[in-house]
Amino acid sequence: MKRKIRVFAFIMALMMLLGTMAACSSGGGGGSTTTQGNENPPAAATEPDNSNSGETPKTEEKDTITALLPPVTLEFQDRFEEIQKEFNKLYPNLTLKLEPASWDDMTQKLDTQVNAGNPPDLAFISSAAIAKYVQQGMLMDISDAATPEMFEDFDKAPLDYMRNGDGIYGFPAYMEVHAIGGNKKFMEDAGIDYKTVQKNGWTYEEFREAIKKGVVKDGNKTSRYGFVFATAGAATAKDYLSILAKNAGMPAAFDENLKFAYTSKNYLVLLKAIREMIDDGSMPKELSSIDAGKRWNMFLTGQTMITGKGLATFENLANKNNEKIKANDGSAVKDSIEVEYIVLPVPTFAGQKLQASTVVDGYVTFRGKKEPTPEHKANVVKAAYFLASGKIAALTNNDIFAAHITKSAKEAAASMETNRNPDNVAAVEFMLANATPARPDIPTDLGAKAIKIEDEVIVPKFQALLANEITPEQMYDAVKEAAVKAFGEDGIVKD
């Protein structure tokens, strides 16, 4: 009898132990009991249901997600505490730790952490930098961790910029168009139908005639130019040429057959056009010495009718300067005038179609030297989606007048006030619909060679062209020679 009692007691103890182990293992991370993004989780995730007497409620393991974030807008970093609280309210088991960085030290901070093998889970960087970190093996592919509902929330074009090969490495925050911007009054005085241009675009020939009309001269002195673009320094010169090249039938350094594109005859057509606008007086002869700050100052002080490159946020900057002028508080740009900023598409060259240049920045997902657990990976995805969608994205993009690229952000923004010009909103949407597609198919080795040619040949030759030290033909020949050397005769476009 005693033996039977001991056996029965042993069986009961074993059953209790197994029950306890099952209860512990059922609450792993990964968010299986919560919804994704900026939606409210099921009641069970925030208020466990204790109605089943004697049953221990399921819990999720605690986890911390780190993010290195620059001042995406003037107000963005001021919202960090609020953002962290909202995320924790949505996911009580998760902590979102936001580390601020300035734009100037963002790359250095990130690279220091990456090189130490301990990067943040998320970093706000350009999609153009994804290939670099993929090559270092420090990015986390989320294609198997994000839900279909997350991916479906995003517009396809900006989401594609987060791809590299077969992987997806985070969520885009915005797709900003590189446009140009005009002074509404000056364009109306010159008889330019800017509203038609906003809806349909314009050719180089139409654009050239328009900017000629914007020039104001007093004898031999020009008091207002038709068009000014910042080109001082390698980065701004590269921007100018790249933005125009996309609208001359060269949306990337390689065509769809992976042949180097800048040996096309259209490249020479473009270089000649750039020189023409300077030589006929529509643009300053000292264009090569104009930096971004001077370019914007010239626009606000009425020294140019159209400026570039123009971002959507420039409308907001112009509006704020107008308010300062009206308030007479002395903080407006010196000698500036009230300006109504009009968003305009870049002209097209050589009979090619509009292919708007864009920049896609976003929340890129990193990993350390060790493989992240599935639970942590899922939690990082939740944080990335939370930042890139819904109310957070709506507030961020409204601050900089950027277009909303998720359905959830568009819905959240519908109830938010903004003083954007509706014609400008429509113009940006038109350009986004004709945006340059992402090219995750370009191999990293080809991309590296193209960058080398750009840095060592294209940029210095282009700066010499702007300074009238060489001809368009001389620059074109130098680029072609370097391309043949790098890619061979069969690796370049011949048309």
Nearest to 193 by CA among 207, 180, 172: 207
- 438: how many CB neighbours lie within 10 A of its CB? 20
H/E segment holding residue 172? strand 170-183
Q: Model's pTM, two decimal places?
A: 0.77
CA-CA distance, 243 to 180, in Å (whole number)?
10
| CB 307 within 8 Å of CB 299 | yes
Nearest to 474 by CA among 276, 287, 286, 268: 268
Place of tokens 């240049």: 357
| CB 428 within 8 Å of CB 312 | yes
Nearest to 128 by CA among 359, 317, 323, 313: 359
Q: Kindly give the confidence (pLDDT) of every residue in the chain, 495 residues in length, as a single tens digit, with 9 standing for 90 and above.
A: 444 444 444 444 444 433 433 333 333 333 333 333 333 333 323 333 333 333 444 457 999 999 999 999 889 999 999 999 999 999 999 999 999 999 888 989 999 999 999 999 999 999 988 988 998 899 999 999 999 999 999 999 999 999 998 899 999 999 999 999 999 999 999 999 999 999 999 999 999 999 999 999 988 899 999 999 999 988 889 989 999 999 999 999 999 999 999 999 999 999 999 999 999 999 999 999 999 999 999 999 999 999 999 888 899 999 999 999 999 988 999 999 999 999 999 999 999 999 999 999 999 999 988 889 999 999 999 999 999 999 999 999 998 898 899 999 999 999 998 888 999 999 999 998 999 988 988 988 898 899 899 999 999 999 999 999 999 999 999 999 999 999 999 999 999
Nearest to 235 by CA among 317, 295, 291, 273: 291
The confidence score (pLDDT) of residue 59 equals 57
The confidence score (pLDDT) of residue 30 equals 35
Neighbouring residues of 336: CB distance < 8 A, sequence distance ≥ 6: 300, 301, 321, 325
The confidence score (pLDDT) of residue 233 equals 85
Q: Hey, what long-range contacts does 451-460 have (CB within 8 A, 24 or more apart)?
A: 452/486, 453/479, 453/482, 453/483, 453/486, 454/238, 454/253, 455/234, 456/482, 457/482, 458/238, 458/241, 458/262, 459/234, 459/237, 459/238
82 token code pair: 């609020």
CA-CA distance, 49 to 45, in Å (whole number)?
9
List the domain boundaries for the chain: 62-174+359-420
3 token code pair: 């033996």
| CB 216 within 8 Å of CB 189 | no
Is the peptide bond preceding residue 309 cis, with omega within 30 degrees of 0?
Answer: yes
The confidence score (pLDDT) of residue 329 equals 85
CA-CA distance, 361 to 461, in Å (whole number)?
29
Architecture label for domain 62-174+359-420: 3-Layer(aba) Sandwich (3.40)
193 token code pair: 């139908």
E strands, 50-140, are 63-69, 94-100, 122-126
CA-CA distance, 115 to 121, in Å (whole number)?
14
476 token code pair: 């074109």
CA-CA distance, 346 to 198, in Å (whole number)?
10
| CB 310 within 8 Å of CB 424 | no
CA-CA distance, 483 to 450, in Å (whole number)?
8
| Residue type at position 82 | E
